[in-house]
Amino acid sequence: MNLAIFGKPQSGKTTLFHLLTGMGEKVKHMAMVEVRDPRLERVGEAEGSSKITYLHIGFLDPPAREMVSQMRAAEGLIHVVRSETPGEEIRRVEEDFLVKDAETLEGTLEKAKKQYSKQKTRNLERKISGLEKALEVLRAGRPLRETFYQEQEEFSGLGLLSLKPIIHVVNARFEELERLRGLEAEGKGRAVVVMDLLTEKELLESGEEERRELMEEFGIVERKAEKFVERIYGVLDLLVFFTANSREARAWTLRRDSTALEAAGKIHTDMARGFVRAEVAPWEEFVQAGGWSGLRREGKIRLEGKDYRVKDGDVLNIKFNR
């Protein structure tokens, strides 16, 4: 999962990048960050797994010349705002996305109609209909993410910006936080967060005792940067599920309301192709029973079909025909 961070010069986007990545492994303008999950550690311990594989999030801080292309390729966006009127800047950015997406879709629609005039196929009919529906949404002043749950086949490869989930980070001075708190919001695929990035950076770079003193002095209950990954999962509408055996316990992400069949495909395409059933247990029951063998002894393994809706924290064992 890759997220692109963007914003005007001096907005604080590079500061946020460093806050989120910490000691992450940096390659050019990207860092992969390991997301520790205590639930996975306990699942691995219960199953006696030799290896724990955590989730990773890639944060991109691209240079200006690569900004738009990296944003189009990313799965989600983080917009850093430092302005006297942050609400207006957020609106301008979102309106610009609508314009850019409309231009992209209009060009694609024109090409599709030309193709259709030469060869009338159902696929092209479906594509033209989907593109026209998307353009209606944009012309009504609404981002595509409000109507389309995820990238449709008709949009594949277009990198539509208003379709991507986005977090707007308002970078404010400490004394401005209370005044700007009213901007904070969270909706379908969109959130606005108000943060003092300089104070967050100072806290990150302080020793434990100094950090505690600073937090007490400023009345800071928790560092917002530490909770940012949770906010990312919420905005991207993701859940986490686990797989575990003696070799490896591993965490995976999946869109909420996804099926066991889609989870199987996430692990390996062969599993989805030959799907038979899924053995399922909530992670707490898995740990309490001592792994799969304990669950079998207690008769607590649930057998679910391909339409089962996976829940956050489920441990899955996919049975499939090879």
My answer on whether 297 and 274 are in the same domain is: yes
Structural domain range at position 96 = 86-163
| Total domains, the chain | 3
pTM of the complete model: 0.85
Low-confidence ranges of the chain (pLDDT < 70): 23-28, 149-151, 221
pLDDT tens per residue across span 113-139:
999 999 999 999 999 999 999 999 999
**Which pLDDT score, from 0 to 100, does residue 224 have?**
75
**Residues in CB range of 86: below 8 A, 6 or more apart:** 170, 172, 180, 183
Looking up residue 136, the CATH number of its domain turns out to be: 1.10.150
Task: Examine the fold and report which residue of 163, 194, 221 is the final residue of a domain before the chain moves on.
Answer: 163
Please identify, among 120, 147, 163, the residue that sits at the C-terminal boundary of a domain. 163
Strand partners, 81: 170
Instruction: Summarize pLDDT for 208-261 with one digit per residue, the tens.
Output: 888 888 888 877 767 777 778 888 888 888 999 999 999 999 999 998 889 999
- Residue 312, sorted as left (phi over 0), alpha (psi -120 to 50) or beta, turns out to be beta
pLDDT at 127: 92
CB-based contacts of 191, cutoff 8 Å, min separation 6: 166, 167, 168, 185, 231, 234, 235
CATH of the domain at 302: 3.10.20.30
For residues 153 and 191, membership in a common domain is answered with: no
* CATH code, 211: 3.40.50.300
Q: What pLDDT does 50 receive? A: 97
Pick from 234, 265, 290: which residue ends a domain?
234
What does the pLDDT read at residue 204?
Answer: 82
